[in-house]
């Protein structure tokens, strides 16, 4: 069978089974097993076992459960309440100030936990009722929380970046450094949109009345709630950027730091430890099973010669390499509407990254573009994770239609950020090139 025909059959079958709602991990693993038996017989199944085991025992993947555990523990510390009180006092007098402050808190959470769910759920429970009570637009509020929570996979540390590094062998530390400036840029775009929109229509985010605003002393006193988050961020990211620790070692330090924060806030109970450990095991198991299926699928795809056939076909099109790059980004956007980011990465990156390298692009830069795109996937209808998180916690008067409408301007901000990083690659490459990271 011609390799390109096999490529069409493999990806056609994959998309068909996913469309039927079958779990992506077992779909990829099942297809890999079927085609391996078809072409190489029982002896070929040894390849599936050895390659999967080899990928899953990479040292860098230890960081995944550690960052997940750190994020879950930080959810239980009560730190978000202190942060929200701080932004309430400092930004409450500004039009749209509470929504702006919510984005800032989400960015801080992103720099601590590396996942999207922690900030989305926590701020949905804390900030959303507070803003609605003060007359904020329900569309603006839900959009700010959903989009702000998605910053967790772009601003380092990021679990998605760890997985991308394990697949492409790009340095995790350099990925973290590369995501810093785009993450800050996107946060600023969100803040600028909220500020401008509320300046034009103050009814969307009315400021706190002057008689209820806080004095400078009251504002300064509440800054103590920012100390622990900033210290944890400096420890986790600073040790990586200084070349002192690997991202995996830094994740271990972050776990200890989160437990200390939990103890200081008197939330370090056996019930919290047990529930956090069980939730970590559950989430990490999902990620690892996706990796098992994806590794088996990608290796079967490559060994069969289909990977080389696709690369040669794309490079042989003689299209402008920038057009091919944009095509990959559009494919990511479309898949992001239906498949979870880890699945998209495992399906596409083994195929796209060799093409990108052959075209002369930096795989680190491409990884940042991929991460920005996957952040969009978290709030892209119909299956964006953060949209469902929000649906689970919003009051009944906020419909799913309201949630879908709320994210449209924030999606536009994400597209602008993606375009800027494509046009100006140094936004993603300047910082990594200035650091010594592992």
pLDDT tens sequence across 14-69: 778 877 777 777 787 888 888 777 777 776 677 677 777 766 777 777 877 888 88
How much of the chain exceeds pLDDT 70, in percent?
Answer: 92
- Asked if pLDDT for residue 242 goes beyond 90, the answer is no
pLDDT band at 86 (very low <50, low <70, confident <90, very high): confident
Q: How many CA atoms lie within 13 A of 407 on its CB side?
A: 29
Is residue 10 pLDDT above 70, yes or no? yes
Q: What is the pLDDT of residue 203?
A: 92
With a cut of 70, say whether residue 436 has pLDDT above it.
Answer: no
SS (H, E, C) the chain: CCHHHHHHHHHHHHHHHHHCCCCHHHHHHHHHHHHHHHHHCHHHHHHHHHHHHHHHCCHHHHHHHHHHHHHHHHHCCCHHHHHHHHHHHHHCCCCCHHHHHHHHHHHHHHHHHCCCHHHHHHHHHHHHHHHHHCCCCHHHHHHHHHHHHHHHHCCCCCHHHHHHHHHHCCCHHHHHHHHHHHHHHHHHHHHHHHHHHHHHCHHHCCCCCHHHCCCHHHHHHCCHHHHHHHHHHHHHHHHHHCCCCCHHHHHHHHHHHHHHHHHHCCCCCHHHHHHHHHHHHHHHHHHHHHHHHHHHHHHHHHHCCHHHHHHHHHHCCCCCHHHHHHHHHHHHHHHHCCCCHHHHHHHHHHHHHHHHHHCCCCHHHHHHHHHHHHHHHCCCCCCCHHHHHHHHHCCCCCCHHHHHHHCHHHHHHHHHHHHHHHHCCHHHHHHHHHCCCC
Supply the pLDDT for residue 316: 66
> What does the pLDDT look like over 159-178, one tens digit per residue?
889 888 888 888 888 999 99
Model confidence at 121, pLDDT cuts 50, 70, 90, reads confident
- pLDDT-derived band at 413, boundaries 50, 70, 90: very high
Q: What is the mean pLDDT of residues 406-418?
A: 95
The pLDDT, as a whole number, for residue 304 is 65
Give the range with max mean pLDDT: 10-14, 72-76, 84-88. 84-88
The pLDDT score that the predictor gives to residue 4 is 63
Lowest-confidence region among 75-79, 107-111, 231-235, 269-273: 75-79
Rounded to whole angstroms, how far apart are CA atoms 234 and 241? 10
Q: At residue 7, does pLDDT exceed 80?
A: no
Q: What pLDDT is recorded for position 438?
A: 53
Write out pLDDT tens, residues 276-315. 889 888 878 877 787 777 777 777 766 666 656 666 666 6
Residues 305-363 have pLDDT tens digits of 665 666 666 666 777 889 989 999 998 988 888 777 877 887 788 888 888 998 899 99
Q: What is the pLDDT of residue 180?
A: 92
pLDDT, residue 312, reads: 66
- For the chain, give the mean pLDDT: 83
What is the average pLDDT across 240-249?
81
Report for 79-93, 126-140, 208-222, 240-254: range of highest mean pLDDT: 126-140
| pLDDT computed for residue 13 by the predictor | 81
pTM: 0.82
């Amino acid at each position: 069978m011609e390799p390109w025909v096999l490529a069409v059959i493999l990806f056609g079958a994959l998309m068909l089974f996913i469309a039927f709602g079958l779990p992506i991990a077992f779909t990829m693993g099942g297809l890999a097993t079927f085609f391996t038996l078809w072409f190489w017989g029982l002896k070929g199944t040894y390849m599936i076992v050895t390659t999967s085991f080899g990928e899953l025992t990479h040292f860098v993947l230890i960081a995944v459960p550690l960052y997940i555990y750190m994020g879950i523990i930080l959810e239980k510390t009560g730190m978000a309440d202190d942060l929200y009180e701080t932004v309430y006092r400092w930004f409450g007098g500004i039009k749209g100030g509470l929504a702006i402050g919510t984005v800032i808190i989400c960015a801080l959470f992103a720099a601590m936990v590396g996942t999207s769910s922690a900030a989305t759920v926590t701020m949905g429970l804390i900030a959303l009722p507070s803003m609605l009570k003060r007359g904020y637009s329900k569309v603006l509020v839900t959009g700010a929380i959903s989009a702000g929570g998605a910053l967790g996979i772009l601003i380092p540390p990021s679990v998605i970046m760890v997985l991308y590094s394990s697949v492409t062998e790009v340095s995790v530390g350099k990925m973290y450094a590369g995501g810093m400036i785009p993450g800050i840029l996107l946060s600023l775009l969100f803040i600028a949109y909220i500020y401008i929109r509320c300046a034009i229509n103050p009814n969307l985010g009315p400021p706190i009345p002057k008689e209820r605003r806080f004095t400078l002393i009251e504002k300064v006193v509440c800054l103590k709630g920012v100390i622990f988050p900033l210290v944890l961020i400096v420890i986790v990211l600073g040790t990586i950027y200084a070349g002192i620790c690997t991202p995996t070692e830094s994740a271990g330090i972050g776990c200890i730091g989160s437990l200390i924060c939990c103890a200081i806030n008197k939330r370090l109970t056996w019930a919290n430890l047990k529930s956090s450990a069980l939730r970590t095991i559950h989430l990490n198991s999902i990620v690892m099973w996706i990796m098992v299926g994806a590794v088996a699928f990608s290796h079967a795809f490559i060994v069969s010669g289909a990977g080389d056939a696709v690369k040669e076909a794309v490079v042989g099109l003689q299209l402008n390499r920038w057009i091919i790059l944009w095509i990959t980004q559009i494919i990511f956007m479309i898949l992001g509407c239906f498949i979870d980011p880890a699945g998209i990465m495992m399906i596409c990156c083994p195929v796209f990254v060799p093409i990108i390298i052959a075209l002369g692009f930096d795989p680190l830069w491409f990884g940042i573009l991929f991460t920005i795109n996957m952040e969009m996937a978290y709030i892209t209808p119909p299956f964006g994770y953060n949209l469902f998180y929000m649906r689970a916690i919003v009051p009944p008067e906020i419909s799913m239609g309201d949630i879908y409408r709320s994210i449209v301007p924030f999606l536009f901000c994400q597209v602008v950020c993606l375009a800027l990083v494509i046009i100006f690659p140094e936004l993603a490459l300047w910082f990594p090139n200035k650091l010594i990271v592992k």
